[in-house]
Homo-oligomer: A and B are copies of this chain.
Amino acid sequence: MLERIRFENYKDKIITATQAALLFEDGMTIGSSGFTKAGDSKAVLPAFAARAQNENIAVTLITGASLGHTTDSDLAGAHALNKRMPFQVDPVLRKEINKGTILFIDQHLSETAELLANGHIPAMDYAVIEASAIDENGYIIPTTSIGNSVTFAQLSKKIIIEINTSVPVSFTGIHDIFLPGEYPDRKIIPIVKPCTYIGVDYITVDPEKVAGIVFTELPDSPAEVTAPDEKTIAIAAHLVKFFEKEITAGRLTQALMPLQAGIGKVANAVLSGLSKGDFKNLTMYSEVLQDSTFELIDNGKMNFASASSITVSNECHKKILNNFDFYKDKIVLRPQNISNSPEVIRRLGVIAINTAIEFDIYGNVNSTHISGTKMMNGIGGSGDFARNAYLSIFVTQAASKDGNSISHVLPMVSHTDHTEHDVDILVTDQGLADLRSLAPRERARVIIENCAHPEYKEELRSYFERACEREGHTPHILEEALSWHQQYINSGTMKKASVLQTI
């Protein structure tokens, strides 16, 4: 106990999760640590979900990003949420969001802290923040993520600290806490390399605001790392080939530029693909450190990785803890408004690799909405990176479902998260479209020929050619532009031919 709470005045603040959850009142706004399943509240939020099962109570919940375990499911299932932001990946919560019963604000991950600090989102009543320990000043030593915890601790009226004893007390030296301060005297964020340390390794809290300390021993839920499949291997291969060509052209070195990769199997496959290429001294300036990051460090390809969380498989988690002294000086965790800061991303020249749900023949990308209406997860940090990156890359499969009934390359996206202005490279398992210095009509040809699935190329060419007959910088046939989505909703396939045959 003593090694976990080194601040005398907190000793009488230890309460149970159930007691902590009773502090919340209907209509309150709650902040919680947690970024891509790492460092989230594992005791208080679940206890609140249990309380809400038997009580008519709901709150607004703001986190870093997605929560782990079944917390979002449990909260959504118990009708304990009025509003949720800035990101989620939970199937039960997603269903309620799409029914409109829980309101969701889909935010750039760098912006939640900004909106809170500027008073554009009302301040939190309580913040729940996971810690490995509390230091001599009553400050929080964070665990596997930092996320928005620094801002929550600063702005929340009251704080509940969740000490997680599954995280060793030795898990320190990898946190770099810095906030740029308040307007109108905001400070420069002086990061000039992914490895620049600019702050302290604890989260400052006002001890007076600490309403309770809760203990838990539940570890982070592990990342599900799926093995690369034929499509993700093909995507990775196209991208590795592209990087090699850029090196040959003298625009990149073997160290590339600092990498950012979205979460999931495509991103993991791409990073794994880099292990096989002729790269060295790679660095990462990203949101999440995944299994593939540690693979690159292990095989000597990557020197340093900066992010806001560590979200890895159980196996990788064990490896990190067992070899912590080896990894300690090769990784850093930062607040998400620093890891995703436009200022730093442009200064470092990040290569941003993110996953699209679909993109169109002009290079507009939909990252969030199925058929323009249903929220999948949220934009996450993809916008923070894509807009300010040295290279903005989006990847997806060319077609999916039985019989390739869905084309992910479309005449017009049904929802736009990233505009043509912010997209340099598109990659599918079919190939890579390099859109740099191309006008929309040039982009369309390259995207259709390089990225579309062969079964959809002819239809896309037809659309584009007929649209061009009507004129326009970005030629479209408005009455047909969203018809592929409509047809999928109505008939279960985007294929024109198969529809004709079945009629």
Contact = CB atoms under 8 A, between A and B. Distances in A.
A470 B490 CA distance: 13
A369 interface: yes
B473 A184 contact: no
A62 to B, nearest CB: 10
A468 interface: yes
A342 B346 contact: yes
A437 to B, nearest CB: 5
B474 A415 contact: yes
Interface string A338-382: 000111001111000000000000001000010111110001000
Interface in A447-503: 467-468, 470-476, 478-479, 481-483, 485-486, 489
Contacts of A474: 369, 372-373, 375, 415
Give the size category of A's interface with B: 35 or more
B373 A476 contact: yes
Given A120-B437, A372-B476, A373-B474, A383 B421 contact: yes
A473 B115 contact: no
A140 interface: no
A419 interface: yes
B349 A183 contact: yes
Nearest to A103: B439
A414 B474 CA distance: 11
A342 B100 contact: no
Contacts of A186: 192, 347-349
A126 interface: no
A168 to B, nearest CB: 35
A108 interface: yes
A441 B103 contact: yes
A159 interface: no
Interface string A113-132: 01100111110000000000
A401 interface: no
A111 B122 CA distance: 34
A468 B99 CA distance: 8
A351 to B, nearest CB: 11
A215 interface: no
Contact of A437 (B115, B364, B437, B439): B115
Contacts of A104: 439, 473
Contacts of A341: 346
Contacts of A476: 372-373, 414
A466 to B, nearest CB: 12
Given A346-B342, A437-B105, A421 B478 contact: no
A244 interface: no
Contact of A107 (B99, B187, B421): B421
Top 3 A-B residue pairs of the complex, sorted by shortest distance between their CB atoms: A373-B472, A375-B473, A416-B416
7 contacts: A100-B473, A183-B257, A183-B390, A342-B342, A415-B474, A478-B485, A479-B486
Given A188-B347, A374-B473, A478-B489, 12 more contacts: A100-B471, A103-B442, A104-B439, A111-B421, A118-B349, A119-B251, A120-B251, A371-B478, A372-B474, A373-B472, A373-B474, A374-B472
